[in-house]
Amino acid sequence: MSEDKIQQEIIMYYRNYYQRLYVNCLIFSIPNGGLRDKRTAMLMKSTGLLSGASDLIVIHFGAVMFVELKTDTGIQSDEQKAFQLRVNQCGYPYYLIRSLDQFKQALSLN
């Protein structure tokens, strides 16, 4: 299954089972991937784009968690590993998720 498909499943699940029912639950993506022309890339960097930022940020009953999505064989880039380290140094959980079931497990830890 592709990362996009995993992300779609997670978004649909979370929005239907949490975000729709509770005001203190929110999930959103960070559009930091994809191809862009040089001018757009420069504009995005100057307005806060951070290389390696996680795919999703989840606010779950007051807890904030950062979620990076990968396929079964996908690996983190060096930038993603550096972002994970910064997030953990700031005191927040960071999860490398490969399926909807793993995401559900991560929710139960927060």
Helix (H, G, I), strand (E, B) or coil at 19: helix
Domain CATH code at residue 11:
3.40.1350.10
Residue 34 has a pLDDT of 62
Q: Which domain holds residue 52?
A: 3-109
Provide the pLDDT confidence category of residue 50 given band limits of 50, 70 and 90.
confident
d(Cα 32, Cα 66) in Å, to the nearest integer?
A: 14
d(Cα 2, Cα 69) in Å, to the nearest integer?
A: 10
**Count of beta carbons in the 10 Å neighbourhood of residue 50:** 14
Amino acid code (one letter) for 31: P
> Is the per-residue pLDDT at 38 higher than 70?
yes
* DSSP state at residue 110: -
**Contact assessment for residue 85 and residue 58, using Cβ atoms and an 8 Å cutoff:** no
Could you tell me the pTM of the whole model?
Answer: 0.88
Domain count, the chain: 1
